[in-house]
Structures are given as C-alpha cells and as structure tokens.
Amino acid sequence: MYEQIAANKRKTIILIVLFFIVVGVIGYLAGVITESGFMYLIIALVYASFTSVIGYFASDKIALSVNGAKEPIEKKDNPYVYRMVENLAITSGLPIPRIYIIDDQTPNAFATGRDPKHASIALTSGIIERLENEELEGVIAHELSHIKNYDIRLMTLVTVLVGTVVLISDYMFSWGFIFGGRRSDKSSSNGVVALVGIIFLILSPLVAQLIKLTVSRKREFLADASGVLLTRYPEGLARALEKIELHGAKMKRANNATAHLFIANPFSSRKLKGISKLFSTHPPIKERVVALRSI
C-alpha cells in the first residue's frame, strides 16, 4: 500500500510534466500549421497552467456540485453514516473527510479532493438505504482507500488534464484552420509538419481518454483490495457491488467528466455492451466480485 501511495505521488508529477509537453507540442504544431508563430504555443501553455491550478485546488468542489452534493453533514444530521465513516477513518489513520449525502435513489458513492487533509466522501441516499451495515462499510472503506492511496489527487489531475487536452485540440483544429491555416505558399517541409500536426491533433484527445480509462480501472481494483484490508471482510464489499449492479440506474445528474470517480458507473453498467464496455470508466462488476471472493 505504501508503495502504491508513493507511486501515485510520482505519477502525479510525471503526469503534469507530460501534460505540459503534450500541450506545448499541440500549440507548436498549431502555430506551424497556421503560420502564426508562437502565438498558439503561448495561449496553450497559459491556458494549461490556469486549468491545472484551478483543477488542483477547486476540482473537488466542482465534482461535488456537479453531482448534487450540497452541504457536508454533521454527526447530528446522520449519526449512523457519520460514525461509520469516523470509525473507519480512525482505523485507517486518516483525518475524517467531509461527508456529503446526494439525494438520489441510485446506489453509488465517490471520493474526491487533493489529499487526505482536503478530502470528501459523497454517498447517495439510495446506497445508504439499500445496503446492510457490513456492505456500506465495504463501500466507505473502498472510498477511504482512494483517499489514502492518493487516487483522488491522481484522478482529479487526470480528469482536468485530459479535458484540457481535448479542449485545446478541438480549439486548435477548428479555429486554427478557419482563421489562418489556408495559405498556398507553404513549403513542402511545412506541409509535412502540417500533416503530422493534423494527425496529432486528431489522435491526442483519443489517447488522453484511453489513458484516463486505464488509470481509472486499475485504481478501482486497488481500492477494492485496500478496502478489504481495512475491513477484513471481502464479502461485505462483494455483496455491496452486486446490489449496486442489481439496483443500478442512470443517476439524476450523471456526468461524463466525473463518472470515473464513482464506485460504479453512474450511467448504469448493466446497459453497457460491445464497444461501450471498452470505453467504460470502470472494470465489470462481475470481475471485481470474483477478485474479492478470491481473497
């Protein structure tokens, strides 16, 4: 577990460095294609810096707001949930995160934040009502593991950076050619660079999304195992996942940008078939249940 935590911190630094390299390349190629010098490169890097800072410090608030989490609860508001989170947090050696309850009958939950001292857990009203004590403990332990393993920081940055790559690529590809990329006096070398640039602009958002999905799926398996290490009861989380799949439906405010944060796909994994499963943010629940029951 400690190795995974250290690895996630390293990955965060590497991810930011690679992100700025990709954004810089996109800006440079857009400048070559449109023959506008370093204008697009400067715009891209300034925008990337701005979104990185906002994403690091405010993405948790954005994720909570987007998914309908309004105010954190206190112990008097829901003693059952608060004490369960409190006990598991103490057991895991974590500060007690802020706890939110989302008014949605679809059973689901997620954790967000940039580190254990600035973390939040959100549970839907449906998951609290439908799960037994040991099952809800398994879900909360899973989310606390995301916090302890620094998955919340890694996935927060992945979301922000991937979104930024997609937006910049789209902007450069659309507006760059409309306002400056149709000159007839380009040299053949510039033409080759332009062709490479077009291919890069088209493929970079797809590659970025695939990286996001790969990281997200691996984090879910790790959080399942880490959660069981905390509760010492794999069957609780296994049964919880089965109930989540059984009663799963699209959440009221399901959002593609935050779907990977949840313990299960908020768009309902039961309806995913064929190629849609390939691009799902979560591994199949059946595979997770099998892995849990093999522990």
Q: Are residues 6 and 146 in the same domain?
A: no
On whether both 141 and 174 belong to a single domain, the answer is no
Whether residue 182 sits in one domain with residue 286 = no
Q: Give the structural domain span for 261.
A: 65-151+214-293
Among candidate residues 208, 223, 239, the one where a domain is terminated: 208
Q: In this structure, are 32 and 144 located in the same domain?
A: no
pLDDT confidence of residue 105: 94
Q: Which amino acid is at 35?
A: E
> Do 250 and 288 lie in a common domain?
yes
Q: Are residues 163 and 133 in the same domain?
A: no
Query: Domain check: are 127 and 262 in the same one?
Result: yes
CATH number at residue 273: 3.30.2010.10
pLDDT at 132: 96
What's this model's pTM, rounded to 2 decimal places? Answer: 0.80
> Is 143 marked active-site?
yes
Higher pLDDT, 295 or 31: 295
Shared domain for 242 and 189, answered yes or no, is no
CA dist., res. 110 & res. 124, Å (int):
9
Shared domain check, 246 and 124: yes
> For residue 87, what are the contacts with CB-CB under 8 A and spacing of at least 6?
none
Q: How many domains does the chain have?
A: 2
pLDDT in tens, 13-30: 777 777 778 778 877 777
Top-confidence range, 94-98, 244-248, 281-285: 94-98
- Residue 184 pLDDT class (50, 70, 90 cuts): very low
Structure tokens at 165: 């790559």
Q: Are residues 47 and 163 in the same domain?
A: yes
* Res. 125 pLDDT band, cuts 50 70 90: very high
Of the residues 35, 71, 129, 143, only one is catalytic, namely 143
Q: What is the pLDDT of residues 247-285, one digit of tens each?
A: 877 898 887 778 888 999 888 755 555 555 555 678 889
